[in-house]
Amino acid sequence: MKVLILGIDGYIGFPLALRLLDRGYEVAGADNFYTRNRVRKVGSKSAIKINSFSTRNKKLNNAIQFYRGDVSNSKFVYDIIRDSKPDAIVHLAEQRSAPYSMISLKTAIETLDKNIESTMNIIYAVKDLNKDIHIVKLGSMGEYGTPNIDIPEGFLNVSYNGRSDNLPFPRMGQSWYHLSKIFDTYSLMLAERIWNMNVSDVMQGVVYGTRTPEISKYKLFTRFDIDQVYGTVLNRFISQAVIGYPLTVYGKGNQKRAFLSLEDSVECLNLIIDHPPEREYRVYNQFDEYYPLNYLAETVKNQYKSLYNRDIGIDHVQNPRVEMEDHYYNPVNENLRKIGYKRQRSLDDEVPVMIRDVRRNMNTVYSLKNVIKPATNWR
Ligand SMILES: NC(=O)c1ccc[n+]([C@@H]2O[C@H](COP(=O)([O-])OP(=O)(O)OC[C@H]3O[C@@H](n4cnc5c(N)ncnc54)[C@H](O)[C@@H]3O)[C@@H](O)[C@H]2O)c1
């Protein structure tokens, strides 16, 4: 099977490429190094040293058929699909930071334009060139927000005034980034309805981790962002612990979010690639567990203490985001279990590995200490 990974230079895209190559898939990929550039623009860089894409590919004997270009450019998307002839396309190539989308009108529009255009280009190119191609699109659990009821997978049975229907679950994204993902979701739903396409829409939780077995095998690390714009919460806590700074929990820290390890993210995507829907729009809630931010902070603190016998503080700082801090949260993830998903790596397995990897890059982390603190304010 041949898989085209859009966003192949990214945190998830590159380990996914390694996994698929290792398992004998043909892999093509595209990237315009947007994340490398934007992370530089906010004064940061990957805290774990990474190679350029051409060095990565050279170390893999140029096994990846690589196209450099922007997937928000329709001609580029049509050209690479025509040329690479994939069976599946995994679309990861979007502006993926909620805080970045909240910096200004310019970054909000950039996020909406880039993300919505890239998904539309893929939909139209697949419709026009080969409707058998399976589109695997990365959305976010954040599309649902934090409703006061259980979160099903994409759809909800609703009864109202004596009639009932299975309707899209209401989306309540809390940033322009999440709204771009919601628009993608509705575009994909519509495309399948009118053109009978094969779509897997993946509502992914927050991914954490520095390794997969292939990263260790090929000694090719993936990016690891720790700044307040591009770094996700566990990455930032671990970096703060490593340089002896208190962990900065936003607000009360009772906000619950869904999480999964990098290893599980890559494994789930591989399972989804192997189970294409037949002319169907299918939603996967892709996460392993959910917990409050305080639990993450306590886990990092306790693991650090048991590894290095050092006490790490926890500070509750003013929440830069506008979000509920005490709320109900209960999403389900049945669809992945139905196709064989079993957890590979838990939070407790992964945190010590991450701590050790980040400690090896302590000087870089120290040099980035000022960009970890929250500065982008939703208000
Ligand atoms: N990492 C997470 O915790 C997480 C959680 C939920 C959803 N997601 C989604 O998963 C996807 C991948 O996330 P990631 O963490 O690997 O992000 P990433 O930023 O590390 O990877 C995205 C890759 O796509 C490339 N890219 C972006 N826009 C592009 C464009 N217009 N043309 C070509 N290349 C482009 C970037 O350069 C980067 O290499 C994103 O869509 C993100 O929104 C990630």
Cα 61 to chain center, whole Å? 27
Q: Look at residue 309 and tell me whether its pLDDT is greater than 90.
A: yes
Residue 10 C-alpha to ligand 1 middle, in angstroms? 6
pLDDT at res. 354: 97
User: Taking the alpha carbons of 204, 209, 211, 213 in that order, is the dihedral positive or negative?
Assistant: negative
pLDDT category at 373 given cuts 50, 70, 90 is confident
pLDDT in tens, 210-245: 999 999 999 999 999 999 999 999 999 999 999 999
Residue 8 C-alpha to ligand 1 middle, in angstroms? 9
Single out the residue of 330, 335, 293, 332 nearest to residue 314, CA to CA. Answer: 293
Tokens 């495309």, residue located: 191
Check residue 265 and give left, alpha or beta (phi > 0: left; psi -120 to 50: alpha). Answer: alpha
pLDDT category at 379 given cuts 50, 70, 90 is confident
pLDDT category at 377 given cuts 50, 70, 90 is confident
Report the share of the chain in percent with pLDDT over 70: 100
Residue 73 C-alpha to ligand 1 middle, in angstroms? 16
Instruction: Tell which one of 8, 11, 265 to mutate to probe ligand 1, the residue whose CB is within 8 A of the most ligand atoms.
Output: 11
Distance CA(120)–CA(72), nearest Å, equals: 9
Residue 311 C-alpha to ligand 1 middle, in angstroms? 34
**Residue 100 structure tokens:** 């970045």
For the Cβ of 92 lying below 6 angstroms from any atom of ligand 1, the answer is: yes
Residue 6 C-alpha to ligand 1 middle, in angstroms? 9
User: Of all atoms in ligand 1, which is nearest to the CA of residue 115?
Assistant: 31
**Residue 123 structure tokens:** 């939909």
Q: Look at residue 378 and tell me whether its pLDDT is greater than 90.
A: no
- Residue 117 backbone dihedrals phi, psi, to 5 degrees: -65, -45
For the Cβ of 207 lying below 6 angstroms from any atom of ligand 1, the answer is: yes
User: Of all atoms in ligand 1, which is nearest to the CA of residue 208?
Assistant: 3
Count CB-CB contacts under 10 A for residue 211.
20
**Residue 14 structure tokens:** 């590159």
> Which DSSP symbol is given to 174?
S
Q: Look at residue 82 and tell me whether its pLDDT is greater than 90.
A: yes
pLDDT in tens, 246-270: 999 999 999 999 999 999 999 999 9
Q: What average pLDDT is seen over the chain?
A: 97
Q: Is 207 exposed, middle or buried (0-12, 13-18, 19+ CB in 10 A)?
A: buried
Domains and CATH numbers, the chain: 2-225+261-288+331-344 (3.40.50.720)
Distance CA(311)–CA(23), nearest Å, equals: 42
Q: Whose CA is nearest to atom 12 of ligand 1?
A: 92
User: Of all atoms in ligand 1, which is nearest to the CA of residue 71?
Assistant: 32
Instruction: Tell which one of 68, 95, 96 to mutate to probe ligand 1, the residue whose CB is within 8 A of the most ligand atoms.
Output: 96
For the Cβ of 94 lying below 6 angstroms from any atom of ligand 1, the answer is: yes
Contacts of 55 (CB under 8 A, 6+ apart): none
Mean pLDDT of 336-340: 97
